[in-house]
Amino acid sequence: MDVTCGIDWAEDHHDVAVVDRDARLLGKLRIDDDAAGFQDLLRLLAEHGDNPDDPIPIAIAIETTRGLLVACLRASGRRVYAINPMAVARYRDRHVVSGKKSDHQDAVVLANVLRTDAGLHRPLPDDSDLARAIAVLARAQQDAVWDRTRAHNRLRSHLREYYPAILEAFADKRERLLAREARAILAIAPTPDQAARLTRSRLRAAVTRAGRQRRVEAETDRLLQVLHRTRLRQPALVEKAMGHQTRALLAQLETACRACDELAHETEELFLQHPDAEIITSFPGLAVLTGARILAEIGNDRTRFDTARDLKAYAGSAPVTRESGKSRRVSHRRIKNSRLAAVGRHWSFAALTASLGAHAHYNRRREAGDRYHAALRNLFNRLIGQLHGPRRREGCVRCTRSTPTPWSPSLPRPPSR
């Protein structure tokens, strides 16, 4: 690269530096985060050889992948490199060992990163607008799920202090307090005193309103028995105050649950419009929502990952080796795409019951000495590697299925295809 550009991103302004191949500073500029600032940036690049007709415009290094500035730079057809801030800090030490730091200096460091080591960094993938929109919704839905979990845990921790009956009533339910019946009962009886005074008809109405259609009478009798049982209680005034707090925490949980459901619906609708949806959901254990999360993180740029090994390292499923002298240690990778690794755990767990081949691979890893999480990670490593092949060669859906083990009387017969 003859000329490279570095941009130190901030909330309301950005520092820009342009250097040549000999590390000479050609120009610097501070721009605002608006359309006028973007035009100033384009003029600075044009002054130093950037030509709109040039098939390879000046490459730009920046520390973020989001924002309007990055979106406009990508729309202009430029190669934009998102450099990890930790890597920028290491590069800064090559030039200044005193610890001196400034926004302009960081912009120069970013420009020099591309000047010296552009081949070691990847530009932002050339994903389609549909894939980017799916990424926005899938990540928002994943954040909403995490927010819902935090809201559930806060509510559960609070109820343990004064209201153990409601926790016991739904201890055997998979959703626990996320169940609609639990939230419906808490809405009408946020304290043990109110729960003890619930009538059968009112409790039955709450259970029905929550959506239960089968065994309504039996469930109502069970809940009445649990809620009316004699238990330890807080003082009346303290219990009333804690009930008000429960209402506030319940409102947060209701909002989080509603956001999860709405975002999941929108994500699934948009994902099914993508041509890769059929390939991704053909894998055992991948449903529509988890498939959307996979696509959101790996994108649809076929040139982003040259080999399956690159994709595995990005997902965090490939192990990392650390050697020093006679010491050699192989461990799981901690620097990774955390969102992709999280959905990978769900994918590999679901694949255990959806594919005989996946279950056999998991059993082999367990017999070889892997613990539970290590065996699941190894299975995810295998699955994500198989996903790379069909997407690279635009192959058929059928070839993405993992090969099942031969059927035997001790295993359930695989469904006919």
* Tens-place pLDDT, residues 85-126: 888 888 888 777 777 788 889 999 999 999 998 888 889 998
- Distance in angstroms (rounded) separating the CA atoms of residues 359 and 405: 9
CA distance 293 to 264: 11
Amino acid at 394: E
Whether the pLDDT of residue 128 is over 50: the answer is yes
Q: pLDDT at position 53, please?
A: 67
Tell which wins on pLDDT, 60 or 404: 60
Span 35-63, pLDDT tens digits:
999 999 999 999 888 876 677 788 999 99
- The answer to whether residue 300 scores a pLDDT higher than 80 is yes
Domain range summary for the chain, segments of one domain joined by +: 3-124, 135-269, 278-400
pLDDT beyond 80 at 296: yes
- What's residue 393's pLDDT? 57
Predicted confidence at residue 398, as pLDDT, reads 37
Q: Which residue has the higher pLDDT, 401 or 44?
A: 44
What's at 261, amino acid-wise?
D
Question: Which residue is associated with the tokens 């620097």?
Answer: 335
Give mean pLDDT, residues 378-406: 63
pTM assigned to the model: 0.84
Query: Tell me, what's the pLDDT at 331?
Result: 86
Least confident of 36-40, 300-304, 330-334, 408-412: 408-412
Mean pLDDT of 276-303: 93
What is the per-residue pLDDT for 260? 96
Contact 346, 290 (CB under 8 A): yes
Q: Which has more confidence, 412 or 72?
A: 72
pLDDT in tens, 209-253: 999 999 999 999 999 999 999 899 999 999 999 999 999 999 999
Burial-class residue 276 by CB neighbours within 10 Å (0-12, 13-18, 19+). Answer: buried
**For the chain, what percentages of helix, strand and coil (3-state, to nearest 5) are there?**
60, 10, 35
The CATH code of the domain at 3-124 is 3.30.420.10
- For the segment 344-349, the average pLDDT, to the nearest whole number, is 94
Q: Looking at the predicted structure, is the pLDDT value of residue 413 above 50? A: no
Average pLDDT for the chain: 88
Q: How confident is the model at residue 207 (pLDDT cuts 50, 70, 90)?
A: very high
pLDDT tens digits, one per residue of 56-75 = 788 999 999 888 899 999 88
Residue position matching structure tokens 């050609």: 26
pLDDT at 100: 78
| Cβ atoms within 10 Å of 57's Cβ, excluding its own | 19
pLDDT attached to residue 14: 92
